[in-house]
Each structure stands twice: as C-alpha cells, then as structure tokens.
Amino acid sequence: MIPYGRHTLYPEDIESVTRVLNEGFLTQGEQVPLFEESVCTYTGARYGIACNSGTSGLHIACLAAGVEKGDLVWTVPNSFAASANCARYCGADIDFVDIDPATRNLSLSALEHKLSVAKSEGRLPKVIIVVHFAGSSCDMSAIAALTSEFGIILIEDAAHALGGTDVNGHKVGRCEYSSMSVLSFHPVKSITSAEGGMVVTNDEKIASLLRLYRSHGISRDAERYLDLPSDEPWFYAQYELGYNYRLSDIHAALGRAQLKHIEKFVDARYALAERYDSMLATLPLKRPVLDRNSAWHLYMVELERHDRKTVFNELRARGVGVNVHYIPIHLHPYYKKLGFTKGMFPNSERYYDGALTLPLFPSLTLDEQDYVISQLNEILK
C-alpha cells in the first residue's frame, strides 16, 4: 500500500540519535535548546519552546494566552480536533469560523461577519486559532487587520506548515502577525522528531510562561518572585499549575537532524504537487490551489460527480492509501454534545463530502505517483 504520508530518514539522522544514546543526556540535556535555536534561526522567531507533541504545544499556547474557563476561542472546523481541544483543556468555550472553499482556509468574509455579530452581542473571542491547512499559509496580515481592533490574540496552528511561507514571503513561524505559532513533528508532518512539537513566539513574557507550563509550572529562576527564599542552592519553586510536556533529547536530536533537510523536503513535495496538478487537470475533481509558498503537507482533491466512499474503497483495494482530511471538528460526537449540528458550517461540510487525500511525501517515486494517477483515471472515467 502506498501511504498518504510518510517520513523520510537519512543515515545521518539515525546517527544523531544513536550519538545521544551513547554519549548524551536522554532528557534535559543540550539537544532540546539546540533544536529550539535551530527552529528559531529557520523561522525567524525569537523564542522556541519544544514540547512532546504539537497538541501539548497548543495547550500551553492557550494557557500562555491566558485562556481560562468562561473565555471564548474560535478556530476552523476543517482541522484536526487538537486545534479546538486545546481551548477545551483550559475550560474555554469554542466556536468555529467557516472556511473559504477555494483556499480551504479560514474565510476572511466569514470572519468579518462573525466578528461584527460577536461585537453586537458583546461576546468576542479572546483567542483565534488559525490553521494553515495542508501547509498553505492563511493571509495573516488580513486576519490581523480584522482582529487587532478587538485585541484578539492570534495563535497559528502551523502543524502543517513548517517550511511554508506567507503571501509576504516570510517563513511560517515568524509570528509577524500572531502571538505564537505551534509546530508539530509527527512523522507525517514536514519534519519529524517521532512525536514532538514546538511553540515559537517573539514575546519574551510569553516564552517564559510557555517554559513554565511545559515543566510543572516550576522554575529555578529565583528572581521571579522576590518574596521566596533564593539563597538556597537547591532552590526551585512552582509558580503555576504546569505539566510535564518536555521533549526528550533523543527526540530533539532527530528533529535537529531532520530540520537540515527541510528545504529539500518541501521542494520535493511541491514538485509532486505540480505533477498532480497537471496530470489530474482533465478529471472531474477539484484540485487544490497550486500555492508555491505552501509546505505541501497534504494533497487533497474534491470529487465532483463520484461517490467518495466508492472511490476511496476502490483506491485502497488497488493499493493506494488514500485518506480523508478532515471530518469537520463540530461534527464529532464530543462537539455535537456541546450543541454543534450539521449545517452550521456549510463550506467545511461541503468540502469534507468530496475530500480525498492522495499520497504525497518527499520519497514518493514518480512511478508510484504515476500508479496513483492511472488508478484514479480508471476509476473516474
């Protein structure tokens, strides 16, 4: 079966992990700060706080933004559940902004409309979590232009988008218009540390809160609170209710080695996306916008005339590991229990009805891609 996504490891990546196993600290050594530094150098953000997953990164990002019970957080339905769950971990209420059918990202007009309704009803969100779907960056400057007058904090769920750039040519993760960006290093993402994630930010206060929340809320920095004794050499103090969301040095070593391949990975993904784009042009399906700036995490088509389940099963039977991204978050049973129903976000639901994710990863061979295309041709013609 050709999978829809797969990591690519080089011998030097494996060597960097075995070096840590042989010589280094397994956790809380030098690999994590070095990984954070290299992600900052790459993205242009000032601070990086590595976590044991993108999901834990989203959680501490919400905490650092001050999200708590009674607050309102918005995100999009067309994402992985973690984009909304992180606000629920903090006890906040969640609501969604529908997507633009062309970009499949947050719709600017839907956002503008929802903001004006929320303003008149007196219930604006504290935070909006923006998702760069499939690796294609949202127009962050346009989003910030709509939200800044309300003081809404923007968090980028950039789990798909490391290696991508925005419309202004800045690397995703630079946080020019947002408070924080959250990256994931799960094996299907741009680079991998097996499990892992990172929050990047330019705000020193937020960075120090993120470090606290990542590690039990505990700090050894005696300067933080002057009323605590600081002359004992064993001093540490817990200031917040934090978690153990630390990344290990083994994972960080892999992430550091992988980051060196990022440009090559994204270029390979784009070349394959470009090939899909021209070779699928005559089929009855909608292709994604061929965005040169995207990190091309995933390649989704939308079927126009065929039943998605039939095509899905046919392709799987022929060894093509297609998938579906995403079941709209508000239609999961957990979110339905909170009051969301079908019909609330029609663009996300319509997109989902026809969506099919085709295999796309750096080591997908042209022969494998030709096979995917020929099978799709046979089934749809």
Nearest residue to 189 (alpha-carbon basis) of 374, 365, 325: 325
Shortest Å distance, C-beta 78 to ligand PLP: 9
Q: Which is nearer to ligand PLP, 192 or 219 (CB)?
A: 192
Whichever of 84 and 280 has its CB closer to ligand PLP, that residue is 84
Q: Are 283 and 380 in contact (CB under 8 A)?
A: yes
Q: How far is the CB of 221 from ligand PLP (least distance, A)?
A: 28
- Residue 363 CA: distances (Å) to CA of 24, 192, 216, 264, 275: 31, 14, 39, 11, 14
Closest CB 186 distance from ligand PLP, rounded Å: 4
Nearer to ligand PLP, 133 or 270 (CB): 133
* Alpha-carbon gap, residue 310 to 292, rounded angstroms: 32
The minimum distance between CB 185 and ligand PLP, in angstroms, equals 7
Residues of this chain that bind ligand PLP (CB under 6 A): 53-55, 79-80, 82-83, 131, 157, 159-160, 184, 186, 197
Secondary structure (DSSP) of 318-356 = TTB--B-----GGGSHHHHHTT--TTSSHHHHHHHHHEE
Distance CA(45)–CA(326), nearest Å, equals 29
Q: Which is nearer to ligand PLP, 183 or 283 (CB)?
A: 183
Q: Which CB, 58 or 376, lies closer to ligand PLP? A: 58
Name the residue whose CB lies closest to ligand PLP. 54
Q: How far apart are CA 182 and CA 201, in angstroms?
A: 9
Least distance to ligand PLP from the beta carbon of 36, Å?
16
Nearer to ligand PLP, 136 or 184 (CB): 184
The DSSP code for 238 is E
Q: Where are the beta strands (DSSP E) in the chain?
A: 47-51, 72-75, 93-96, 127-131, 153-157, 180-184, 197-201, 218-219, 237-238, 285-286, 299-303, 355-358
Distance in angstroms (rounded) separating the CA atoms of residues 192 and 194: 5
Nearer to ligand PLP by Cβ, of 190 and 293: the residue is 190
| Beta-strand relationship, 153-157 and 127-131 | parallel
Amino acid at 88: R
Nearest CB to ligand PLP, comparing residues 80 and 276: 80
Q: How far is the CB of 58 from ligand PLP (least distance, A)?
A: 6
What is the nearest approach in angstroms of ligand PLP to the Cβ of residue 84? 10
Find the shortest distance in angstroms from Cβ 218 to ligand PLP. Answer: 23
Question: What gap in Å lies between CA 355 and CA 368, rounded to an integer?
Answer: 21
* Angle, in degrees to the nearest 10, between helices 54-64 and 82-89: 40
| Minimum separation from the CB atom of position 86 to ligand PLP (A) | 8
Shortest distance in whole angstroms from residue 115 CB to ligand PLP = 23
Amino acid at 248: S
Can you tell me the distance from the alpha carbon of 285 to that of 355, in angstroms, rounded to the nearest whole number?
A: 10
In the bound state with ligand PLP, the residue whose beta carbon lies nearer, of 80 and 265, is 80
Token couple for 250: 């083994």
Nearer residue to ligand PLP within complex by CB, 59 or 170: 59
